[in-house]
């Protein structure tokens, strides 16, 4: 289906193909300090999904290195979430705390290597000494303690001889590193606190940067996949493993963008605020973006999985539209759940010409859902319909019941309105109606009456009273900051909705479509037969509601953003001299500019120029191709020389090869450092300019692509490139593109 793979899977496939890894082991490493949300679901899908795809394994690991924040209720929630989503972590759940003894040993090892030291600055001093993003930091005076002192101090830290914050263990890296994370990062801190698993066994705890890479290593993780904000931490990740010499079959870290959804908050801190502040009923409130919330609301694991699959994996920060998630759950439930009739806001209808009672056999599933099953729908003289489904003065385009418009009762008869009863305030309290006896739904309908819609209804005496909870988005703002953006109407509890009896007595499912309204879920906690409670999972799409909305205020003005160009740094004297000289050599000013501003490039260019007097072509290839290579390495590391470039350009100049071939040759030179002439000879890359040789190839291509020929002739000139490309491909790049171009143009005129 979808052939394109995400960049992580590409990396994995390359590593497998190159033999770097034999087995793919990933891990999902949450900190048990909150309930997992849909962002975690994305991470779970990535880590478990990739492991599954490549017959590997994914560890579930609780990253429990901070005893003051973690709690066992969260480890349970995490396990629930993974399990509910359908993934299997195998034998056991891992805990970073299981590695505390090993981690301690590694720390001692670093101290012995003099790569770590005990610092005794206080918190504020440490911050101060770290410097800022623009200023280098300076090393603490404690950094020059001897290895013996450090060993002693660290051991005493472990023994509990010091108070919280008195000392920390730090890596000795570089206090002036551009990457702030490398400014002697903390490895261990003292925390006299009870840990959820180790209790009071430890009073020093490893920091994330130290514990994570080593835990990965210890578990034999091959690919450590995390979110973008850890990009800066990758350097320490590598430093720790490299410094400890843990380099064979070690893990590597790759980062992807975390999930953002509009009208939703996704940080654990903010979610915790909602829970603590009582804005929601708990972590599993159906309005919460937590896995527990979605589960409680009635989302299926499949729908979440599909969603994660649809949004893709990339490195660009993005904000996914909630509509995408809603689509996934609708799409899933559409083919799965029974349709039933429920009236949320009942309006009484008395069918004056109907006496008696009957049970109508009604299928649970519509014609387009291939599932079997039906129930009995009681029908009688008094029924209830949705208040919205009657209008005394309807707008045009209204399909439901009006004084002049009949409507079908779904699965039952067609009725028309005879009289509207109102109370003293003018509110409609009842409709007197008539039914058409020969209009019964199905083959029995011989009435010939055409109605515009069918509406839901329930029989007054048989209907069951149910509570229905309607949820709207928790926030009114597309990018909510916090509780100030909360939607005051996100929860609407309807105490007296009426539902057909089969739903309660037969219980054909726990999820239903209430016809014409949406999908609903029997609340797994509150639901009882005496007092049924349903959560709305999601509305059905409603093109009528959209149409009848008061004309939208936003046709959006949106002028195109004017982009202001910044100042370009001026050239210095030497550069200016070069620039002028290059202009005199008739170089394009942009090329001259590129060359003049880069010392290495200009030197390289001058050297090549001294060998071959072809200033323009040399300049072009140096400022483009050579510049690319020089971005990644020093001149001295280049495998090719200026002399070879001159040789290459010479072949372009005398038309032995085309620019296209030159690129191919250049690539080879980059890899092997071979002489261009040799490459051309060895590969037979001399270009073909003879039309007599090209024409037959072109004609064959034309014959094989009649569609594209037609399109081209119809004016789609973009296809010129297609034909040229095809010919070039057929000649393995040797066709002279200029000639080919001309020929295609002529041939297809």
Partner RNA sequence: UGGGGUAUGGCCAAGCGGUAAGGCAUCAGUUUUUGGUACUGACAUUCGGGGGUUCGAAUCCCUCUACCCCAUCCA
Site for RNA in 115-144 (CB under 7 A): 121-123, 126-127, 130-134
Using CB under 7 A, which of 50, 81, 116, 168 touches RNA? 168
Q: Minimum CB separation from RNA for residue 671, in Å?
A: 15
Number of residues that bind RNA (CB under 7 A): 134
| Closer residue to RNA in complex, CB, 207/349 | 207
283-342: which residues touch RNA (CB under 7 A)? 310-321, 323-324, 326-327, 330-331, 334, 339
Classify burial at 407, counting beta carbons within 10 Å of its beta carbon; exposed 0-12, middle 13-18, buried 19 or more.
buried
Closest contact distance (angstroms) between CB of 115 and RNA is 18
Q: Which of 43, 59, 65, 222 binds RNA (CB under 7 A)?
A: 65
Least distance in angstroms from the C-beta of 528 to RNA: 27
**Which range, of 192-200, 286-294, 448-456, 604-612, touches RNA by CB under 7 A?**
448-456
Q: Which residues contact 379 (CB under 8 A, 6 or more apart)?
A: 357, 358, 359, 360, 409, 412, 413, 459
Best CA proximity match to 406, nearest among 360, 459, 352, 454: 454
CB of 530 to RNA, least distance (A): 28
With binding defined as CB under 7 A, does residue 593 bind RNA?
A: yes
Exactly one of 238, 380, 614, 620 binds RNA (CB under 7 A); which one? 620
Smallest CA-to-CA distance from 532 within 556, 488, 492, 501 is with 501
Q: Cβ atoms within 10 A of the Cβ of 91, count?
A: 6
Packing angle between helix 719-730 and helix 706-713, nearest 10 degrees? 140
Answer yes or no: are the C-beta atoms of 58 and 28 closer than 8 Å: yes
Binding mask 237-266 for RNA (x = CB under 7 A): --------------------x----x----
Q: Is 270 in the site for RNA (CB under 7 A)?
A: no
Give the orientation angle of helix 208-218 with respect to helix 234-243, to 10 degrees: 60
Binding mask 404-443 for RNA (x = CB under 7 A): ----x-xx---------------------------xxxx-
Distance, CA of 11 to CA of 254 (rounded, Å): 9
C-alpha–C-alpha distance, residues 528 and 507, integer Å: 12
Rounded CA gap, 431 and 381, in Å?
A: 12
Determine which residue in the list 150, 513, 535, 602 makes contact with RNA, applying CB under 7 A.
513
Write out the binding residues for RNA, residues 622-681 only, by CB under 7 A: 623-625, 627-628, 631, 658-660, 663
Q: Which of 213, 211, 208 is nearest to 252 (CA)?
A: 213
Segment near RNA (CB under 7 A); pick from 375-383, 459-467, 571-579, 734-742: 734-742
Dihedral of the CA atoms 623, 629, 630, 632 (nearest 10)?
Answer: 140
Based on the shown chain and the rule CB under 7 A, indicate whether residue 165 belongs to the binding site for RNA. Answer: yes
Catalytic site positions? 31, 258, 268
To the nearest whole angstrom, how small is the minimum distance from the Cβ of residue 361 to RNA?
Answer: 12
Our finding on whether 215 is near RNA (CB under 7 A) is no
Q: Is 44 in the site for RNA (CB under 7 A)?
A: no
User: In this chain, which stretch among 71-79, 246-254, 526-534, 586-594 interacts with RNA, using CB under 7 A?
Assistant: 586-594
Chosen residue from 138, 238, 722, 748 binding RNA by CB under 7 A: 722
Minimum distance between the CB of residue 63 and RNA, rounded to whole angstroms?
3
Q: Which is nearer to RNA, 220 or 725 (CB)?
A: 725
Query: Could you tell me the CA-to-CA distances from 338 to 317, 520, 620, 689 in Å, in that order?
Result: 39, 11, 68, 70
| Residue recorded with tokens 């003099």 | 114
Residue 728 lies near RNA (rule: CB under 7 A): yes
CA angle in degrees (0–180, nearest 5) for 709-713-717:
90
Closest to 171 in 3D by CA, of 183, 163, 160: 183
Nearest to 137 by CA among 187, 186, 179, 189: 179
Phi, psi (degrees; rounded to nearest 5) at 532: -70, 140
Which one of residues 568, 692, 703, 714 is an interface residue with RNA (CB under 7 A)? Answer: 568
Kindly state whether residue 730 participates in binding RNA, applying the rule CB under 7 A: no
525 versus 569: smaller Cβ distance to RNA: 569
């Amino acid at each position: 289906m979808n052939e394109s793979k995400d960049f992580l899977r590409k990396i994995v496939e390359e590593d497998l193909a190159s033999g770097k890894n034999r087995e793919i082991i990933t891990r999902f490493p949450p900190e048990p300090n909150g309930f997992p949300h849909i962002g975690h679901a994305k991470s779970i899908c990535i880590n478990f999904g990739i492991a599954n795809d490549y017959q590997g394994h994914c560890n579930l690991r609780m990253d429990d290195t901070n005893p003051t924040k973690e709690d066992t209720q969260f480890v349970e929630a995490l396990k629930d979430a993974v399990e509910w989503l359908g993934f299997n972590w195998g034998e056991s759940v891992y805990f970073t705390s299981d590695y505390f003894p090993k981690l301690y040993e590694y720390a001692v090892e670093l101290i012995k290597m003099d790569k770590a030291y005990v610092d005794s600055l206080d918190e504020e001093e440490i911050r101060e000494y770290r410097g800022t993003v623009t200023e280098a930091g300076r090393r603490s005076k404690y950094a020059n303690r001897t290895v013996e002192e450090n060993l002693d101090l660290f051991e005493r830290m472990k023994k509990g001889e010091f108070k919280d914050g008195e000392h920390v263990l730090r890596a000795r890296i570089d206090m002036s590193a551009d990457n702030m994370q490398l400014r002697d990062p903390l490895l261990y801190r003292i925390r006299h606190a009870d840990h959820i698993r180790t209790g009071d066994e430890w009073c020093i705890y490893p920091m994330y940067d130290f514990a994570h890479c080593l835990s990965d290593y210890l578990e034999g993780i091959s690919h450590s996949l995390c979110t973008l904000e850890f990009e800066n931490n990758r350097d320490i990740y590598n430093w720790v493993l490299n410094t400890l010499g843990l380099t064979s079959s070690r893990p590597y870290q790759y980062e992807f963008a975390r999930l953002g959804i509009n009208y939703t908050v996704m940080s654990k801190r903010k979610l915790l605020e909602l829970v603590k502040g009582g804005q929601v009923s708990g972590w599993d409130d159906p309005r919460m973006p937590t896995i527990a919330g979605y589960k409680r609301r009635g989302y299926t694991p499949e729908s979440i999985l599909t969603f994660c699959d649809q949004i893709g994996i990339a490195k660009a920060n993005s904000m996914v539209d909630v509509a995408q998630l809603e689509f996934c759950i609708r799409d899933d439930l559409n083919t799965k759940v029974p349709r039933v009739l429920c009236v949320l806001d009942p309006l009484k209808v008395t069918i004056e010409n109907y006496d008696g009672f009957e049970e109508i056999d009604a299928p649970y599933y519509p014609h387009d859902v291939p599932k079997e099953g039906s129930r009995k729908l009681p029908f009688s003289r008094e029924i209830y319909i949705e208040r919205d489904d009657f209008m005394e003065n309807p707008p045009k385009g209204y399909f439901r019941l009006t004084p002049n418009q009949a409507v079908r009762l779904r699965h039952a008869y067609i009725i028309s309105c005879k009289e509207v009863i109102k109370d003293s305030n003018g509110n409609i309290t009842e409709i007197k109606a008539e039914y058409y006896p020969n209009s019964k739904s199905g083959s029995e309908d011989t009435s010939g009456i055409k109605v515009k819609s069918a509406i839901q209804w329930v029989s007054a005496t048989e209907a069951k009273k149910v509570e229905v909870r309607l949820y709207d988005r928790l926030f009114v703002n597309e990018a909510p900051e916090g509780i100030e953006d909360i939607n005051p109407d996100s929860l609407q509890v309807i105490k007296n909705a009426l539902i057909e009896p089969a739903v309660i007595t037969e219980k054909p499912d726990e999820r239903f479509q209430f016809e014409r309204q949406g999908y609903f879920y029997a609340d797994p906690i509150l639901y009882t037969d005496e007092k049924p409670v349903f959560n709305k999972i999601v509305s059905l799409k409603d093109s009528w509601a959209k149409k009848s909305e008061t004309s939208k205020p936003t046709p959006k003005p949106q002028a195109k953003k004017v982009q202001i160009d910044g100042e370009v740094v001026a050239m210095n004297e030497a550069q200016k001299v070069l620039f002028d000289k290059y202009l005199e050599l008739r170089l394009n000013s942009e090329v001259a500019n590129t060359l003049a501003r880069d010392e290495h490039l200009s030197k390289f260019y001058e050297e090549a120029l001294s060998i071959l007097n072809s200033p323009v072509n040399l300049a072009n290839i140096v400022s483009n191709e050579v510049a690319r290579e020089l971005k990644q390495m020093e001149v001295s590391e280049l495998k090719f020389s200026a002399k070879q470039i001159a040789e290459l350009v010479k072949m372009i100049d005398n038309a032995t090869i085309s620019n296209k071939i030159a690129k191919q040759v250049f690539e080879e030179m980059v890899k092997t450092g071979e002489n261009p002439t040799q490459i051309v000879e060895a590969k037979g890359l001399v270009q073909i300019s003879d039309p007599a040789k090209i024409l037959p190839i072109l004609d064959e291509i034309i014959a094989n692509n009649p569609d594209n020929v037609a399109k081209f002739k119809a004016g789609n000139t973009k296809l010129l490139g297609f034909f040229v490309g095809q010919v070039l491909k057929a000649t393995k790049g040797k066709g002279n593109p200029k000639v080919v171009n001309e020929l295609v143009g002529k041939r297809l005129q």
